[in-house]
Each structure stands twice: as structure tokens, then as C-alpha cells.
Structure 1
Amino acid sequence: MSDLFDTPSPAHAEAPRPLADRLRPRVLSEVIGQEAVLSPDGPLGAMLAARSLSSLILWGPPGVGKTTIARLLADETDLAFVQISAIFTGVPELRKVFEAARIRRQNGQGTLLFVDEIHRFNKAQQDGFLPHMEDGTILLVGATTENPSFELNAALLSRAQVIVLAALTPADLERLAQRAEHELNRALPLTGEAREALVEMADGDGRALLNLIEQVMSWRVERPLTRDELAKRLMRRAARYDKAGDEHYNLISALHKSVRGSDPEAALYWFARMLEGGEDPRFLARRLTRMAVEDIGLADPQAQAVCLDGWQTYERLGSPEGELALAQAVIYLALAPKSNAAYTAYKAARVAARETGSLMPPRHILNAPTRLMKEVGYGAGYAYDHDQEDGFSGQDYFPEGMKRPAWYVPPERGFERELKKRIEYFDRLRTKRRGD
């Protein structure tokens, strides 16, 4: 793997290597885009200043500098750099690595063991690193594109600091493009808009950008290419999206919170991002329906129906036509009045049910299908509401001794304004009946 630096390396007389390898940083200060962690105030910068480097997990998307940072950390601390990949390394190879590190340590040199794709090791294999980390045989630096909280076990995480590396910004990628032009001693044959499009295609991945630049530089063109001409020659890089991984949960969270925040444009964007990434529209239909009942509820009872109708329309039309029905549901939910009063009341009722689960209903609302049940008082004193004034008896339906709660408190929004009036109306009647 290769990464990025700020000052160009001298031209090489040898046969050209891949551009990404030629632009590999030589010191940490040359790494682009990770200033937040490498600056003197950042976690890695502070470790190096104190000469107290600990085991690390470098978590970030592809092409942001994980391998290069690990290699340069070894250089900065005079440790032997050993690199393995969890994809291609088994237990016998690991034993050899640990034994070589032990011998190296006896000879006075430590080992920085860089494990690429560390999340690919299972939990038992991850445990195998622990004794060698604890006795100082290795300093572990793992690299992963997946959320360590889900993919690495607690014992390993407790012994390593997680460092989050960010995707490269367009400004970072532009600096990298300028460095590539300096290295190749020629400008990219692109108009300004086409250059911006090239940066967009890289999607925050520095290595991908350098590979794209190599392709563009190999073309014979008589004038700078426009954005449309570039698009015809280069396929747009697929967006990073793992339907079973961290990106899946990040994007559905962004969609949900955009709907809750009543922002239809943002909600449509995250909805479209998930579809473009290959998400199953049925999953989105299910989650939209959940949003309707959790965040809108009775403030707009129609919201749930809109989602179910959109879901059914998608099932009948399929993709891509049916996706428009789901998009309409996204817009409707985002613009609907919001209330979680029903959701909050439901959760409170569940808590009370767990805490009072053995309490019997009051006898007056129990059925009495047998003579014995009638004799012991089942159903005695029950007032049939339809026979009462205003069709309301005001009786207590909670277990004996249980205080009447107030779980459902509708806000003054949407249809729940009317529901609040009904609650207040029945409360007044209840008070009147009990006072009579």
C-alpha cells in the first residue's frame, strides 16, 4: 500500500514505478490529510514527542495512509518494521513472526508488527497477539476499514489505542494531484471542471486518485479534456458501501436523523446514497415505516399509511420505478409533524409491565363464565360504558393499588393537538364520575 506527502521526491533515473509508490512519504510530516492525528497536539504527535508509542489500531477508509503511517512510525522509533496481512497469514506464519521478533528483542531491537486488515482475524487469532504485546515482544499496529468496536475483541482493544484516520478532502486530493504533476513534470490535460470531476471520482482515496492520474497522463490529447469527455473515458469509481458493514449503519443513521430533523433534501440525499450503494429497497421501506411510527406517530397517522403504500407500490413495480414511491415517503416523513409521545409511552408501559407483571386486573373487569367466578366477585360492579352518560364510566382499569400513570403526553403538534383535547376531556369526566 502507498500514501501521500507534501514535498515532491527527486526524479528517478530508474524505470518508472507506479506513481503511488514513487510519491510515498519519507517522513511523517509529508503525509497529507491526517494533520489532526499527526500534529504535535494530535494523539500520534503527542506519543512521538513523549517517545512513548503504544500499540495502535488505525481505523479509516482505503487510501488514507494507514500503511505508510505505520512504516514511518517504525522509522521514527527505530523499530524493525514487519508487515503481514490477515488475509494471507495463518497461525504457523504468526508463530514465525513472533519468534523472529523475540530473537530481535534479545538482540536489542524492538519490532513494530503491522497487520493489514486486522479485522479479518477471528477472535481467537486476535487473542494470540495479547501475550506478545504484553511482554513487549511486539508493538502492534493494526489497520482496518471496519469499525473496531464491532470487529475486534475487547481484550485487544483494551491494549491498543484506536486512531481514526479521515478520508482525504478535495483540498487534500488537489495537493496530491499537484505533487503528481510535479513528479511527472507535466500538467494534467484537463479543464478546471474536469479536474474537479477527477478528484470527485477518487472519493477521498489518495491511492485511487494517483491511479486515475496515471491513466489520464497516458492519454494522447491535443487539448485539455472537458468534464464530459473525461467521464466518457473513465468509469466513475463505485462509492464505498458495505451493505453488512459500518457504512450501512452510518448511512441509515444519517437518513433517520435527517427525517427526524425535518430536512427533506438531506433525507433524499442519504436515501439516494444507499440506493446507489446497492442497498435493498425493501430494507429502506421497512426502516421508513419504523421512522413513521417512532418519530411521527400520532402527530400524523397518515405517515405510516404513506410508507406502507410506498412499500406495496415498490413490491408491485420493482426497481427502479418503485423506488420513486419510497422517495415520496421520505419527503412526506421529513415534512410531517414530529412526535415520539406514543413511542415514549409504549417504552414506559413496557417498563411498568416488567416491574408489576404479577399484578391481577381489578375484579370488576374480569370475565365470569362460571358460577364460581361470579361467586368470588369476578365482574361484580362493572359499568358498561355504552350505558353510561357520555358513553364513559370513568372506572379504574389498573391493578388494585397501582397509581394511575400519565405515560402518553401528546404535544401541541399535528393531529396530536386533537388527541390532547380528548385526553383532557376524559380526564375531566373521570374526575367528575369519581366525585359523584
Structure 2
Amino acid sequence: MRRFSRGLKSFIYFFVLAFVLLHSAVFCFSERLAILPLAQGQIKKAYDLYVSASGDCYLVFAREAIKPFAGASYKWKVVLGKWDRKGRELWEKPIGDYYGMDNRFSLFSDRPQEIFIRGVIENRFILWKLSSGGKLLWKIERESAFSLPDRIAVGDGEGGAFVAVPAGLFPSAEKKDISPMEIVHYSAEGKQIDHFPLSFGKSPENSWLPSGPETMDTLVGIVPISSQQFFCYGYTAGFGPFAANIGQTMDYGWLSSPLIVSHVHVFARQYDRRGKLLWNVLLPGNWNNLVVSAFSTSGNLTLCGVSESFSCPDGSFRAPNDLYSLQTFVFRYSARGELLWCRQFGVGVSLAPVAISTAKDGRSYVIGEIKEVYPQQLTGSEKPGRVFLACLGDKGELLWIEQFGAMTSTPFPSLTRDERGAVYFGLRTPRFNTLGPLDDVQLVRFVPGS
């Protein structure tokens, strides 16, 4: 009996110990990772998500799609919603009802008291500015000859915005050397302060560009360096007599370029506030998935992209099994355009970045998609998440990488860190039900471990 009592006590002791350890592990896991659903079951189409430095997030999405009559195009009811860092909805604001499947909306902000929406709707460009409480401050609408990719807009640090807007499709008789696009500067009150053509410059100092219409350039993004300077980056392609068609763009780089294009390089150019070119660099090597971030008061820049034929200039060549595959590279440039270092990461697997953020200590956080093909015999539950989050050191070395989501998940191109070191980003996962397609959207808060 005494032996039985001792055995029972031991069993209870180990059971309690296991229970405590299990719950402490769950508590640690919940402290490190929080996945919060947004507008569950209500999102017909999620356009963009933006996370502020406080962890609050904005989501622009279509709540429903209606066909007014048989054979008509869908009419999308577009709204903007805001949630706090714990996933509680704070407010929702209707943006408008729009026809068409290819409408695009993106979010940006550089101050906590406001949020901008950039919309491309058929042949119209629209810019909204709202307060953090959801009040519409102003709205600008103008015609544009053709659409550009999303996200070519940034705040100016003073409540205004720099926005890339397509110029006319056909040059006028008076203006034959028309730039493919222009940068428009709007004030905090929505007034146009200035605008200048973003010429892709066939000038002598840009010796890597041919003198003539043999190149095609696609602007991908703008990054503010300071209140007086900003940085433009994108793809430049050539050669061929038809490559200069202004209506043709390479939204995704080399993989979306016309067949006549022989190469797709990366251009990176820094301008002052009036549009004067300060410096430019060219990266050869057929590129895709280009993302850029600026950090610190020094104006240093971090670039990350995917190439099928590039090797770092310091002699660190690709591994033999990577010679003919898409590989990911990261670069650090000084404020004067000098290459500080170049590194390849994700060796043996194709990683497609969609956003990068650089902290004050020089570390970079990259979010994107894993383009690896998994064995067909694996079931859905056995396949790891398609979304990756990686941390790179101040010299580009890979410190850690984590996977999230499902095999059909994609990340939004917004990545934010709060003052405690937590990383915030959003996931979109499509699914179908009896009412048609839906998007499941989740806000992810991840605290990296040691």
C-alpha cells in the first residue's frame, strides 16, 4: 500500500510538472507569435494592408461584389478599415463603388496621424488622404493614359506626398521628348506644389544607357531619404526597336518582360526634391522581385532582389547547383551610391522578397514568398508555409528565417517593427465557399527569439 501511495504521488508530481511545462510552453509561444484574423468571412478581395509603428493596421478591401444585371461587370464595394494591435476593429470607412476586376489600391503613410490610399481605376488615378480616425481630409482625381504598378507613392514627411503618375501615352506635337512618367508633389492640404518629368535619361553621364529609344524602363518604387531627397528604383531592359513602347511595362521584372528583351537590369537613382539626378547605379543580371529600404540619418540604402545570372562582385560566386536558378541577393549602398557590401542568401532555394525593412542597428528584415516546389506526395498539412520572414545582419549575413501561413498564402508588402522588437506583417489566403471566392486576412505579430 505504501509502495502504491508512493507511486501515485510520483505520478501526480510528474503529471503536474508536465502540465506546468506544457502551459508555460504555450504561454511562451503565444508571447512570441500572435495571429489575428481581420474581418473574417467578409472580404471578397483584399487589396492592401499597412501596419503602423504602433502595431495598428489599415486594410483596404472589397466587402462585396455585385452584378447590376446579367452580363455586366462586377461592381466592387471598396472600404478602408482599421484594427488595433490586438485585432479589435476600430472603424470602417466606405471608399466607393467601382467596376472592373483590375482596380488596384495601395496604402502608405509616414506619420501616425494620417493614412493615404493610392487608387488606379481603369484610366483614372485617385489619391485619398484620411486621418487616423477615418475622417476624409481630401481626395484628388486625374486622368492617366495607362496604369503603373502599385506603391509608387511616399509621404514627404510633412503631411504631403510624392506620387508617380503616368504621362500621356502619345507625345504631343510641341513636346516630342516626353518622359514616361512624372513625379507630382502634393502638399499636406492636397494642393499640387510641384511636378517634374522622371526622365530615364539618355544623357552622356548615364553611359550604361544607349543613346536612343532602345531601352524600356519600369519604375517600381520610391523611397524617401530625407525631406530634400528621394530614391527611385526599377527595371531597365533592352535592346530592340520595339522595346521603347511606353505602354508596355515590366511590373515583375525579367519574368514579365517582352520576348524581344535580351536583358533586364536594375536601375537605382537618387534625386533631390526638385528632380535633379544626384547619382545612379546599374545592376546587371535579369532581375525580379526588387525591394528597397532606407535607414538611419546617413541615408544608406538596402536593396534586395532575385536574379538568374548575377554574382556578387567580390568574387563570391554561386554554388554549382545555383548557376541556372533564381537566387536572392541583398546589397547595401551608401548615401553617395557606393556599394558597401553584397551577399547571397537562401542558397539552394528560390526566395521572392516583397518587402524589406532596415532597423537603426543595420539589421534588415525581409518578407516574401518561397518559390520552392514541394514533393507531390506531401499532404497539405505536411507542406510548410509559403511565406518567409528572414533577418539579416548589418553585413547581410542570414541570422534566422521562419515560415508562416499555408501553401496558398501570400504576404502583403508591408513590414513594421515596434519599439519592443516585435515584427508585424499581414497574410492573405484565398478560399472558396458557396458564395464564391473570399480572402482570409491575418495580422501576424512575431517576436524573434534569441
Shorter-normalised TM range? under 0.3
User: What TM-score, normalized by structure 1, do the two folds share?
Assistant: 0.21
User: What TM-score, normalized by structure 2, do the two folds share?
Assistant: 0.21
Give the structure with the higher percent strand: 2
